[in-house]
Chain A
Amino acid sequence: METLQPVNKFGKNSDEEYTVEELRRRLEQYSGTRAESEDISRWAGAGYLQFMEDAESEPEFLYEILGDIDAQWEMLTANAFDRGGKEAAESISFPKKYVSEWISELDSFAAKSENRKSDMQTELILRIDRHLVRQAEIFSEKSGISLSKLVADYFASLDPNMLKAGQSQAV
């Protein structure tokens, strides 16, 4: 079967790289001109379409904002056309308030994303014989495997099914 080749100009064919940092840079540099509005919406639209066709695009919140930027541009120009015709549609630019809201959303999503990452790991305090700790440290240095990973790997190897019913097994 032939591989699906996207034909849209603004889709996967784009060589642009989409990152949170790049979106933030573009939004923070926005000074309110028509040209900048067109540039941001075109760039955002291409990224959003890339996301819609590419399962590997991450983080998802970045593309949500890119999609909103493109959609707002479509509606802003459509409503400007209704009010003042072609000339109005072709001269309008993003209100700075919109851009501030996108930056806030970006900050909010990025913070939540970081929190989720840090929530994935937690500290564990162990009470272990000092001699054993030193032995583990030497092993860690020689093997290049961190103490955290050594302990985590051991925990990962534990299988509750190996325990007989009603019995506990000392570590």
Chain B
Amino acid sequence: MKDNSKIPGHAGRLKRYESFRILDNLRIRYYGKLRLAKSPGRSVGNRVVTELNPATEKTRTWMETLDIQGRPTVIHPKYGSKPHYVMDPETGKFTGETF
């Protein structure tokens, strides 16, 4: 079993993120608190996600906006000057539209 305490920044993130999961490629995704929308529409929740690549110790962070079933409707990377990527909740794929 891997010792999670050796993962850089892991202990600190456990205090601030709600949950995490280890992906098949061994990257770790940390999920922030889910916030509910004040605005009406199909997008009802949003949370921050940080992904750590333990091999390089680099992170990348994005905000994901979710529909009522917890499926991403929009992804907004928080690195570089990236736009909002509109997702198709049914397929989980990028629709090709941005704003």
Interface residues on B, range: 35 or more
Q: Which of B10-65 contact A (CB under 8 A)?
A: 12-13, 15-17, 32-33, 35, 37-48, 50, 57-61, 63, 65
Q: Does A28 contact B (CB under 8 A)?
A: no
Sample of 18 A–B contacts (CB below 8 Å):
A7-B79, A8-B78, A48-B48, A55-B15, A67-B33, A68-B35, A71-B47, A72-B46, A74-B65, A75-B46, A76-B39, A78-B84, A80-B39, A81-B86, A81-B97, A82-B42, A82-B43, A89-B84
Q: Does A22 contact B (CB under 8 A)?
A: no
Known: A4-B57, A45-B78, A72-B38. A52 touches B32 (CB 8 A): yes
Query: Taking beta carbons and an 8 Å cutoff, which residues of A are in contact with B?
Result: 1-11, 45, 48-49, 51-55, 67-68, 70-72, 74-83, 86, 89-90, 98, 101
Q: Which of B47-96 contact A (CB under 8 A)?
A: 47-48, 50, 57-61, 63, 65, 73-74, 76, 78-81, 84, 86
Distance between B74 CB and nearest chain A CB, rounded to angstroms: 4
